[in-house]
Structure 1
Amino acid sequence: MGGILEGKRILVAGVTMDNSLGFAAAKVAQEQGATVLITNFGRALNITKRIAKRLPVEPPVLELDVTNEEHLAGLESAVREHVDGLDGVVHSIAFAPQDALGGNFLNTQWPDVATAVHVSAYSLKGLSMAAMPLLKEGASIVGLTFDASVAWPSYDWMGVAKAGLESCARYLARDLGPKGIRVNLVSAGYTKTLAAGAIPGADVMGTIWGERAPLGWDVEDREATGLAVVALLSDFFPKTTGEIVHVDGGYHAMGA
């Protein structure tokens, strides 16, 4: 018996290390029957090509910088070298310069803010539009966020960018819904990843998460997030769009 993504073609954009949430989503997607393609760019591309071998099936690795218009314009042809279309896209992309993180909120200059917003929020729209010629009715776009409804220690302008990402997903859901395409986000709890390690002092959140999450929380567990992403990519949520699904042990619902 096949999995819930049997026969589906999924692009996971933004996989670097095997401890990333994007890697977890790609792994679960393959385990559930999908044909998966992954992306990265620049110096990280070679790392991704090595990491790809750790997936159950080694996937094609495409070069894609979501801030590069030429890369976005060439995405369709790059994907079609491997599959004839896409049933789903995962946006696992975020970046902010160091000056935009770590308690420097009041002093961060616009160029660094602009980078954070472009890579971490606007890119969801750019990636979605680049993938549009490949997506059929019923396709699903899923992004990864970190709860932007509150201010977090050290997260600073990345938190602002994630708020933009969450708003962007709602507007995309509005405009792509008539085309039969769903757009949702998964809000993961604090997880030890390469991205999290780049945020000064963010590890304090890992200490308190397990104490306050009613279901408990393991900062090393990425599979729970991968499972939620795959569920949203599947046909099990045909009328769900513009939603944020929390995978955080229930932390977001607790007042204290």
Structure 2
Amino acid sequence: MSLLDLKDRKYLIFGVANRKSVAWAIAKALEAEGAEVVFSVRSEARKESLGKLLGDRSCHICDVEFPDQIKTLADSIGEKEGPFDGIVHSIAFANFEAGFLPFHETRRQDYLQATAISSFSLAEIANAFKSSLKQDASVVSISISSQVTAENYGYLSPIKAALDSTSRFLAKSFSADSQVRFNTVNAGPLKTSASAGIPGYLENYLFAEKLTLRKQAITTQEVANTAVFLLSPASSGINGQGIVVNQGMDLNYFDKEVVKAATRP
């Protein structure tokens, strides 16, 4: 038996957008270890766009903004395709059509919508699929590495903080009658299609890379590998945690090269 012991296990993954997605990297790594993956995407259009990528893999539609769709998905595949050894929540959405406003100007409707999709959906998914999870299943969410006040990340930073907290409270709640574990992977800046649409992201990405201890940005695969470990029985002692994957970026503020560049006349 391998350390990860993933052969013949089954996982449900929410959030694949394209081949650059963290969710897709997780899926491929799980499959490489012998696991089976079931996918859920937000719309028929997204499913069609992923046709070549997913091939004949099981893929379902569920827009987590709408609780009834989460319940319908759980009812339709829970017994048919479950029980599941784990779930991956790799979902984030924010409406920035008004531009990147100062946080105090955030519109209530935008904040609440983003919270429902990016954070509270984890609780709704966990509740809907509770009976379709194995007793020792693992639920992993993709978050960010630190609650920094990045202006161009807008109000998603406090919402990601809410996701982290939601995961911890689910770990406690589920512990009353199961051994299901909830953890987050708190990733540093990545090169993904979603990040490419954030104004000024490239500059932030390059700055973050300079802050890493190895002077090289983390990769999507490194984040995915951590998630796969958390999904496996090898991580059975980890619950209610946020595992930071950022190559020491948040510890290295006073790196001499960065300080010199920032203070140079």
Note whether the superposition's TM-score is higher than 0.5: yes
Residue of 83, 90, 104 corresponding to 1:92: 90
Q: CA deviation at 1:99?
A: 4.5
Looking at structure 2, the residues matched to 223 and 255 of structure 1 have their Cα atoms a distance apart, in angstroms, of 25
Q: CA deviation at 1:218?
A: 3.5
Letter in 2 for 1:44: R
* Deviation digits for residues 169-197 of structure 1 (CA, Å, limit 9, x no counterpart): 11111111231110000011111112212
Letter in 1 for 2:58: P
* Deviation digits for residues 207-232 of structure 1 (CA, Å, limit 9, x no counterpart): 1122111134336x211111100000
Retained in 2: the 8 A contact 1:101–1:158? no
Q: 1:62 to 1:172 in 2, by over 3 A?
A: same
Looking at structure 2, the residues matched to 52 and 130 of structure 1 have their Cα atoms a distance apart, in angstroms, of 25
Q: TM-score with structure 2 length normalisation?
A: 0.88
Letter in 1 for 2:228: V
Residue of 68, 73, 76 corresponding to 1:75: 73
Q: Paired residue for 1:51?
A: 53
Q: 1:129 to 1:206 in 2, by over 3 A?
A: same
Letter in 2 for 1:235: P
Looking at structure 2, the residues matched to 141 and 96 of structure 1 have their Cα atoms a distance apart, in angstroms, of 23
Retained in 1: the 8 A contact 2:145–2:245? no
Letter in 1 for 2:187: A
Q: 1:216 to 1:129 in 2, by over 3 A?
A: farther
Q: Paired residue for 1:27?
A: 28
Looking at structure 2, the residues matched to 67 and 49 of structure 1 have their Cα atoms a distance apart, in angstroms, of 23
Looking at structure 1, the residues matched to 36 and 165 of structure 2 have their Cα atoms a distance apart, in angstroms, of 30
Looking at structure 2, the residues matched to 139 and 74 of structure 1 have their Cα atoms a distance apart, in angstroms, of 21
Looking at structure 1, the residues matched to 174 and 71 of structure 2 have their Cα atoms a distance apart, in angstroms, of 19
* Deviation digits for residues 30-53 of structure 1 (CA, Å, limit 9, x no counterpart): 111110011112232211333313
Q: Paired residue for 2:248?
A: 250
Retained in 2: the 8 A contact 1:12–1:37? yes
Q: Percent identity?
A: 26
Q: 1:4 to 1:254 in 2, by over 3 A?
A: farther
Q: Paired residue for 1:105?
A: 103
Retained in 1: the 8 A contact 2:15–2:41? yes
Give the length in aligned residue pairs: 251
Retained in 2: the 8 A contact 1:37–1:59? yes
**1:151-230 superposed matches below 5 A:** 151-178=149-176, 179-218=178-217, 221-230=219-228
Give secondary structure in 2 for the equivalent of 1:89: strand
Q: CA deviation at 1:13?
A: 0.4
Looking at structure 2, the residues matched to 4 and 225 of structure 1 have their Cα atoms a distance apart, in angstroms, of 19
Q: CA deviation at 1:206?
A: 1.2
Retained in 2: the 8 A contact 1:16–1:48? yes
Looking at structure 2, the residues matched to 82 and 222 of structure 1 have their Cα atoms a distance apart, in angstroms, of 31
Retained in 1: the 8 A contact 2:138–2:182? yes
Looking at structure 1, the residues matched to 211 and 167 of structure 2 have their Cα atoms a distance apart, in angstroms, of 28
Letter in 2 for 1:88: G
Q: CA deviation at 1:82?
A: 5.5
Q: Paired residue for 1:13?
A: 14
* Deviation digits for residues 1-50 of structure 1 (CA, Å, limit 9, x no counterpart): 66631121101101111001111111101111110011112232211333
Looking at structure 2, the residues matched to 148 and 49 of structure 1 have their Cα atoms a distance apart, in angstroms, of 35
Unaligned residue ranges in structure 2 (runs of 5+): 255-265
* Deviation digits for residues 48-87 of structure 1 (CA, Å, limit 9, x no counterpart): 333313xxxx421111111222211122243247523100
Structure 1 or 2, whichever has the larger Rg, is 2
Retained in 2: the 8 A contact 1:188–1:246? yes
Q: 1:235 to 1:101 in 2, by over 3 A?
A: farther
Q: TM-score with structure 1 length normalisation?
A: 0.91
Unaligned residue ranges in structure 1 (runs of 5+): none
Give secondary structure in 1 for the equivalent of 2:8: coil
Looking at structure 1, the residues matched to 99 and 156 of structure 2 have their Cα atoms a distance apart, in angstroms, of 7
Retained in 1: the 8 A contact 2:70–2:128? yes
RMSD between superposed Cα atoms in Å: 1.9
